[in-house]
Structure 1
Amino acid sequence: MRNRLVPSILLAAVCGFVWQIAYAGPILTLALVPLVLVQQGRRSLGRAQARFAVALAYYLAGSHGIPLAAAVFFGPGDHWIEGVVLWLASSALLASGWAFVDKAWKAAAVMLFDALMPPMAFFDWISPLTASGVLFPDWGLFGVAALLVGISVAPWLHQKRALVFLPILPIVWNLVYLSIPMHPNIGAPRYPQKSLVIQSMNLHLGPSTHSILENFNRLRSWVATADQHKKAQVLLLPETLLTWWPGNAHYIEQHVPQGQTWLVGASIPLKQPGLFADGIEEVTDHGSRMVFASVLPVPVSMWRPWHTPTGDSFGRMDYKAFWWQKPVRTDGKSMMAEICYDQLLPFSWLEVALYRPDTVLLTSNVWWAKGTGAPQIQRASAWAWSRLSGSTDIEAENA
C-alpha cells in the first residue's frame, strides 16, 4: 500500500494545486477518484486512512491560500491563526467522506453530499463535481447526472481493464470513458444572441476605509470612471463598492445617464438593523432596486449567523445568506449573478445549471486575495460551471 500511497498523495496534491493554473483544475480534478480508489491494504482501517490522506492532500494543496487571504480579509490582528484553522478544518472536513470511498459509486455519492450538505457545502472549493462542465457543456443538471452515473458504472464497464484505476492513467479514464456522451461542441459554451449590450468595468480601488472623506473621494472616482462608458446599455460594476445608504444611492442615481442601467455591487441594508445583503443594485436615472444577493457571503468573516448584528458600518458587517436565487429577465434575456464567494460553491452553481440563464454576472473583490490563488480558482470554477449551463459569463473585479 505504501508503494501506492506516497505517489497518490503527491499526484493528488498536484491536482489540487493546478486549480491556480488557467483551467487545469476543472480538467484534472476527477483524477482524485482513481487516486483514492487505488488505495489497498490488509486492514480496512489502514485503507480508510490512506484514502483520507490522499483526499486531504488534494484539498490542502488546492486551498493553501486561505491563511494569507484570511489575514488580509479579516483585518489587522493575528488573523493568520484563524486562517490556518479554517484551512486545516475545511480540508479535513471535505476529505473525511473520501475515507469511506472503496467503490466508485461511493465517490459519486461523496461528491454530491459535499456539494449539498452543510457544513461541507459551505467550503466545497475545487469540487470534482466541477468537471461536469468540462465534459458535458450545455447539458445543465443532466451533465451533473451524467458525470455521477459515469463515475458509478465505469468500473463495471471496465472491470477487465484494471489499468484504468492506476494513478498514472486518470486522464485516460476521464476522457476515454466519459467523453462518449460528450457534447459535440465541447470547445465552447453556448453564446446566445442578446439585444442587451452589457459591459463590465474592472476597478483598482482596494477596500473602503474608515475615513468618510476618503470613501467619498473613492465614490466620486469610480462614478466618474463609469460615466465614461456611454455606449453600454447595461454597465456591470464590481462587488461591494459602497454601502447602499440613501445618500450614496441618490448620488449614484443622479449620475446614471438616461437610458443606461448600472448594476452596482453594494452592501445593502436590510430591514433587520445591522444586517446587510452582499448584493447588486440595478440603478437607473429614476431609481434603484436590489436584483441579486449573494447566496452565501464568506463564512466566518461576512456570514455569521451565531453573531448578533451591531449595525456598525465601519466594523465587520453581518451579512445574510439568501440560499436560493432565481433569474432576472431584462429585455427578454435572463440573468443570474455569482457574487464573489458564490463562484467557488457547487450548490450555488447547481442553481444556475437548473435555470440555465443567458448570462451569468460575476462580481468580486480580489484586493484581499493577491498571491493566494483564490481569484484563479474563482475564474476556473466559473468557466467550468458556465459551460455546464451554456451561459455567457461577464466579470467585474475590484483589485
Structure 2
Amino acid sequence: MRPDFARPAVLVGLSAATGWIAWSGVALLLPVSLLFPVLWSIATSKKIAALIAAGYFLAASRGLPQGVATFYQSNLWPGLLLWLCASSSFIAVHATLWTANARARPFCYLVAVVLMAVPPFGITGWAHPITAAGILFPAWGWWGIAAMTAGLMGLVTRASPAVTLVFLSVWLWSAVTWTDPFLPEGWDGVDLHLGPSLGRETGLHRHRDLIQIVREAGSGKGSFVALPESALGSWTPTVERLWIHGLAGTPATAIVGATVITEEGYDNVIVAIAAQGGKILYRERMPVPGSMWQPWRSWVGQIGSARADFFANPVADLGGERIAPLICYEQLIVWPVLQSMLYDPDIIIAVGNGWWTDGTSIVDIQRANLKAWARLFAKPLVISFNT
C-alpha cells in the first residue's frame, strides 16, 4: 500500500472498529465512541474527515439494512439506500466542520456535537458520543453533560492524550462500580415475543390475552404495567371499553403503545388504561424517519405519515408522578431524552416494537442507551419491548 494511502486507510479502519464496538449493545462499551473525535481531529483533510465519519457511522448503524429488509420483506437494497442516506447528514456535518486550524478545532467539534443532537441533523443523530456520559458520570445529571462536552472538546486538541487518560481512568472505575438502573416500586415492564403480529393482529382473543398479562403482572410486582409500542393496534372507543371492562376489579393500570388515526395520517402514542377509564398519555415526538415519518407525502397531497412534533409533550403526569416517555426511535437519538430531563421527571418509561431487528444489535443498543441516560440522571427505568 502506498504511504499516502496507508494513514487514511488505518484511520478509517479504526473509526469503523470504534463504531462497531461502541454500538454493540453493551452499555459499558459506549465510551469506546470517544475514540471517534480523536480520529476525526487527526485527519489531514476534509475528505479524510468525511471518510472517518462514514466509517464510524456506517459501522455503528450496521443493523439498519437487514432491519429494513425484514420490515418490508424485501431484499437488502432499500435498506442499503436508507443506510447511506441516513449517514449523509453525519458525514456532511463532520466533513464541513473539520479544520486544520488547531485553535478553532474544539469549537468546530462542539458545533458538530450540538448539530447532531438536535433537529434537523439530529433526526438521524444516532451513535452520538455524548451518550457515554451516563457510563462515565453516573448520577451527575447536567454536570455530567457539561463534563462530557468539555471532554469531547479536549479530545480534539493537543491535550488529547491527557484527556484520554482521564476518561480511561473514569471508565475503569465506572466498570467496577456499575449498577443497572432500578425498576421503580409499583411498576413492571413486560417484554413480549410476539413478532410482527403485535399491533397487526388485533382480534378479541389478542386483546384478552394482553389484558390477562396486565392483570397477572398487576397482582404481582406493581400496579402500573407497561406493554410494548403498538400493542393495542388502533386506539378506538371500542378498544377502550374492552380494556376498561377487562381491567375491572384490579388496581392495575396498563401503559400501552397504540396508534391514533388522524385525517393526515396517524400518531404513535402511549395510552394509560385502568378500570376507571383510559387516556392518551403521550404522542411520539420523533417517529422513525422513512418508514413512519414521511413528510414528503403532504407535499404531494398524500396522507398516511406518522406525525412528528419534535418538541411536544416531553413529560406526562400519571398517578401523581411525572414520567418521561420514549418510544422506540427516540431511544437512539439525543434531544428527546434531554428535553424530557429538563422537566426533572420521576421515571423514564421506554417502549418499543423491535421484531424487525431480529439478527441485529438495534434493540440491544436501545437498551444500552436507556441505561446510560437513566444512570446519568439517576432515574428509575421501565422498559417494555416486543421482539
Instruction: Say if 1:137 and 1:186, in contact at 8 Å, map to a contact too.
Output: no
Match of 2:228 among 213, 238, 249: 238
Counterparts of 1:4-43 in structure 2 under 5 Å? 4-18=7-21, 19-40=23-44
The 2-side partners of 1:32 and 1:85 are apart by: 24
Aligned positions, number = 371
Match of 1:283 among 266, 273, 283: 273
- Correspondence for 2:46: 48
Instruction: Summarize the Cα distance change of 1:155–1:219 in structure 2 as closer, same or farther, 3 Å threshold.
Output: closer
Which whole-Å deviations, capped at 9, do the CAs of 1:165-210 have from their partners, x for residues lacking one? 9xxxx8536335x78xx99x97347769x6x500111112222489
Instruction: Say if 2:182 and 2:381, in contact at 8 Å, map to a contact too.
Output: no
Instruction: Summarize the Cα distance change of 1:277–1:110 in structure 2 as closer, same or farther, 3 Å threshold.
Output: same
The 2-side partners of 1:353 and 1:322 are apart by: 18
Instruction: Summarize the Cα distance change of 1:215–1:308 in structure 2 as closer, same or farther, 3 Å threshold.
Output: farther
Which whole-Å deviations, capped at 9, do the CAs of 1:11-69 have from their partners, x for residues lacking one? 211111121241254221111011111223xxxxxx11111111110001111111111
Q: CA RMSD in A?
A: 3.1
- Correspondence for 1:101: 98
Instruction: Summarize the Cα distance change of 1:155–1:122 in structure 2 as closer, same or farther, 3 Å threshold.
Output: closer
The 2-side partners of 1:62 and 1:378 are apart by: 12
The 2-side partners of 1:210 and 1:261 are apart by: 19
Instruction: Say if 2:38 and 2:155, in contact at 8 Å, map to a contact too.
Output: no
Amino acid at match of 2:255: L
Instruction: Say if 2:332 and 2:366, in contact at 8 Å, map to a contact too.
Output: yes
Which whole-Å deviations, capped at 9, do the CAs of 1:349-372 have from their partners, x for residues lacking one? 211332232211110011111012
Instruction: Say if 2:41 and 2:156, in contact at 8 Å, map to a contact too.
Output: no
Instruction: Summarize the Cα distance change of 1:327–1:391 in structure 2 as closer, same or farther, 3 Å threshold.
Output: same
- Correspondence for 1:132: 133
- Correspondence for 2:246: 255
SS at match of 1:56: helix
The 2-side partners of 1:329 and 1:188 are apart by: 27
The 2-side partners of 1:172 and 1:91 are apart by: 30
Deviation at 1:127, TM superposition (A): 0.7
The 2-side partners of 1:52 and 1:386 are apart by: 32
Match of 2:81 among 85, 92, 101: 85
Instruction: Summarize the Cα distance change of 1:154–1:34 in structure 2 as closer, same or farther, 3 Å threshold.
Output: closer
Match of 2:263 among 256, 260, 273: 273
Instruction: Say if 2:28 and 2:135, in contact at 8 Å, map to a contact too.
Output: no
The 1-side partners of 2:179 and 2:198 are apart by: 41
Q: Percent identity?
A: 25
- Correspondence for 1:43: none
- Correspondence for 1:351: 339
Counterparts of 1:140-155 in structure 2 under 5 Å? 140-153=141-154
Instruction: Summarize the Cα distance change of 1:397–1:233 in structure 2 as closer, same or farther, 3 Å threshold.
Output: same
The 1-side partners of 2:166 and 2:86 are apart by: 28
Instruction: Summarize the Cα distance change of 1:48–1:59 in structure 2 as closer, same or farther, 3 Å threshold.
Output: same
Residues 1:110 and 2:136 are matched in the alignment: no
Counterparts of 1:48-87 in structure 2 under 5 Å? 48-73=46-71, 75-77=72-74, 80-87=76-83
Tell me the TM-score normalized by structure 2.
0.86
Residues 1:201 and 2:204 are matched in the alignment: no
The 2-side partners of 1:219 and 1:331 are apart by: 24
Instruction: Say if 1:112 and 1:129, in contact at 8 Å, map to a contact too.
Output: no
Instruction: Say if 1:357 and 1:389, in contact at 8 Å, map to a contact too.
Output: no
Instruction: Say if 2:34 and 2:152, in contact at 8 Å, map to a contact too.
Output: no
Amino acid at match of 2:43: Q
Deviation at 1:384, TM superposition (A): 1.4
Counterparts of 1:364-375 in structure 2 under 5 Å? 364-375=352-363
The 2-side partners of 1:268 and 1:377 are apart by: 28
Amino acid at match of 2:323: M
Query: What stretches of structure 1 of length at least 5 have no aligned partner?
Result: 41-46
Instruction: Summarize the Cα distance change of 1:357–1:245 in structure 2 as closer, same or farther, 3 Å threshold.
Output: same
- Correspondence for 2:102: none
Instruction: Say if 1:52 and 1:98, in contact at 8 Å, map to a contact too.
Output: yes
Tell me the TM-score normalized by structure 1.
0.83
Instruction: Say if 2:294 and 2:306, in contact at 8 Å, map to a contact too.
Output: yes
Greater mean deviation of Cα atoms: 249-258 or 294-303: 249-258
Match of 1:293 among 279, 283, 287: 283
SS at match of 1:279: strand
Amino acid at match of 2:287: P
Instruction: Summarize the Cα distance change of 1:255–1:340 in structure 2 as closer, same or farther, 3 Å threshold.
Output: same
SS at match of 2:280: strand
Deviation at 1:243, TM superposition (A): 1.0
Query: What stretches of structure 2 of length at least 5 have no aligned partner?
Result: 100-104
The 1-side partners of 2:207 and 2:114 are apart by: 42
Deviation at 1:291, TM superposition (A): 0.8
Instruction: Say if 1:105 and 1:151, in contact at 8 Å, map to a contact too.
Output: no
